[in-house]
């Protein structure tokens, strides 16, 4: 039997979760590092045996790995966090100046 790539994990924690899922379902799998010409890992390839592809894809779909796009790493939430943090710090500084001047 040959192994077939069914998923490209760009984040290390995804590969760990998938490993646990496949172990729980007794699937034969392997996870291979993907490298570029610079030998820096860019992700991991998840492979299963040919006869277990459908079962593995169903497991990935049930757990949200297939069929839904990955969220963008930089979202508007990060910008909102920093704006709120800066505003909170400015308010703390203003209140401390106000309290010290009384």
Does the pLDDT value for residue 75 go beyond 80? no
What's the rounded mean pLDDT across residues 90-101?
92
Q: Where are the domains of the chain?
A: 1-70, 73-102
Enter the CATH code of domain 1-70. Answer: 3.30.70.1530
Does the pLDDT value for residue 94 go beyond 80? yes
Transcribe 25-46 into DSSP letters.
Answer: TT--EEEEEEE-TT--EEEEEE
Does the pLDDT value for residue 17 go beyond 90? yes
Supply 25's token pair. 């379902």
Q: What is the pLDDT of residue 38?
A: 62
């Amino acid at each position: 039997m040959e192994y077939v790539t069914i998923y490209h994990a760009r984040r290390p924690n995804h590969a760990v979760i998938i490993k646990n899922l496949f172990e729980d379902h007794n699937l034969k799998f392997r996870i291979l590092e993907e490298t570029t010409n610079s030998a820096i890992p860019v992700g991991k390839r998840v492979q299963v045996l040919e006869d277990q592809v459908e079962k593995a894809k169903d497991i990935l779909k049930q757990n949200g790995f297939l069929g839904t796009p990955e969220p963008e790493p930089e979202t508007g939430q990060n910008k909102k966090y920093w704006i709120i943090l800066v505003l909170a710090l400015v308010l703390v500084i203003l209140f401390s100046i106000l309290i010290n001047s009384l």
